[in-house]
Amino acid sequence: MARYLARRVLHALTTLFLVCTATFAIIHAAPGGPAVLADPKLTLAERQAIEERLGIDRPLAEQYTRWLGRVARGDLGNSFLYQVPNSAAISERLPSTLLLAGSALALALVIGVVVGAYCAARPGSAIDHVVTIVASGAMAIPVFWLAMLLILVFAVTLGVLPAGGNATIGAAPSLGDRLAHLVLPAIVLSAALTAELLRYARSSTRAALLSPSIRVARSKGATPARVLWHHALRNALIPVVTVLGLQLPRLVGGAAITETVFSWPGMGRLGVEAALSRDYPLVLAITLVISATVALATLVVDMVYMWLDPRIRLH
């Protein structure tokens, strides 16, 4: 186990290095720069002065080497846009992103696994057909389009939920107000993941229900509910956990779109603002934090395998 964890950590560090290197190259290859975006009317001398002050007038290799050195010392640099340490800017937005992503993940797990297992026990039924159609639609609808549709229906037409933000401006903080602002973004962010988990939970649970071990459980007098939720579902969760691990980066990517549409003050929206402003240090810092989070979550998924089925040995 210790050797496996060491290999996984080394793999995660290598992945982080490659992702950050690619991000550094892509964002510096984009046309324009912080000085141009700040004021296109600046003279060449003024732009050069700004670039020298920000340290982006040096060769890319030198800039990258300096950035790696700072990261190795735990320094994520300072934001060009906000003029604060990147660690402070990220720590301010990170709780909102964790709340949104955690809520979306919990929603996807509960609905996807429970409804998928329920449909597996009733194949070909009316509810099975309806759920399959809805799941296919949820996977096909773009995130931004679904977000705009829900805002139009529930915020504009019905007026029962807020259209954006994470709290009502000027109102006293309350749990009900925070939950009301969380509902629509969480639904949008979880939609595609819920549909994906539902499909895999249905197929894997259906296969488990047809296995010899389930026939043995039934012959011993186990009730249909116990057969489904205790015996079949546990065996069916391994493929579901695999899909969940593969979909975590998609969840993070969708958060950037969702947070931007709903004006949710999280890291995804912060990353979009930083990219549009060519805030190189902040983009790299956000990429590093998100990549590390996904790598850690993937390691947790591997550990869940061992809990679900002790027969699995990780080499």
Query: What tens digit of pLDDT does each residue of 257-305 get?
Result: 899 999 999 888 898 888 888 888 898 898 888 888 888 877 777 777 6
Arithmetic mean of pLDDT, 136-152: 90
Q: pLDDT exceeding 70 applies to what percent of the chain?
A: 89
> What is the per-residue pLDDT for 108?
92
- In angstroms, the CA 115 to CA 241 distance is 16
Contacts of 34 (CB under 8 A, 6+ apart): 50, 51, 54, 56, 80, 277, 278, 279, 280
Q: What is the mean pLDDT of the chain?
A: 83
Structure tokens at 172: 């006293």
Query: Is the pLDDT assigned to residue 32 strictly greater than 70?
Result: no
> What is the per-residue pLDDT for 310?
60
Arithmetic mean of pLDDT, 2-6: 73
Lowest mean pLDDT: which of 146-150, 206-210, 244-248? 244-248
Query: Is the pLDDT assigned to residue 308 strictly greater than 70?
Result: no
- In angstroms, the CA 257 to CA 143 distance is 7
Arithmetic mean of pLDDT, 229-255: 77
- In angstroms, the CA 268 to CA 124 distance is 40
Stronger pLDDT, 42 or 277, i.e. the higher one: 277
> What is the per-residue pLDDT for 171?
80
Query: Is the pLDDT assigned to residue 314 strictly greater than 60?
Result: no
- In angstroms, the CA 257 to CA 135 distance is 20
Query: Is the pLDDT assigned to residue 230 strictly greater than 80?
Result: no
> What is the per-residue pLDDT for 35?
53
pLDDT band at 37 (very low <50, low <70, confident <90, very high): low
> What is the per-residue pLDDT for 140?
86
Contacts of 18 (CB under 8 A, 6+ apart): none
pLDDT band at 107 (very low <50, low <70, confident <90, very high): very high
**Domain map of the chain by residue range?**
93-280
Q: pLDDT exceeding 90 applies to what percent of the chain?
A: 19
Query: Is the pLDDT assigned to residue 151 strictly greater than 90?
Result: yes
Burial class of 281 by CB neighbour count within 10 A (0 to 12, 13 to 18, 19+):
buried
> 110-129 pLDDT, tens per residue?
999 999 988 988 888 899 89
Q: Give 262-279 as a 3 state SS string.
A: CCCCCHHHHHHHHHHCCC
Stronger pLDDT, 53 or 211, i.e. the higher one: 211
Got the DSSP string for the chain? -HHHHHHHHHHHHHHHHHHHHHHHHHHHHSSS-HHHHH-TT--HHHHHHHHHHHT-SS-HHHHHHHHHHHHHTT---B-TTT-SBHHHHHHHHHHHHHHHHHHHHHHHHHHHHHHHHHHHTSTTSHHHHHHHHHHHHHHHS-HHHHHHHHIIIIIIIS--S-SSSSS-TTSPP-HHHHHHHHHHHHHHHHHHHHHHHHHHHHHHHHHHHTSHHHHHHHHTT--HHHIIIIIIHHHHHHHHHHHHHHHHHHHHHHHHHHHHHTT--SHHHHHHHHHHTT-HHHHHHHHHHHHHHHHHHHHHHHHHHHHH-TT----
Structure tokens at 250: 């998609």
> What is the per-residue pLDDT for 148?
93
> What is the per-residue pLDDT for 241?
80
Arithmetic mean of pLDDT, 32-55: 64
Query: Is the pLDDT assigned to residue 49 strictly greater than 60?
Result: yes
93-280 is classed in which CATH architecture? Orthogonal Bundle (1.10)
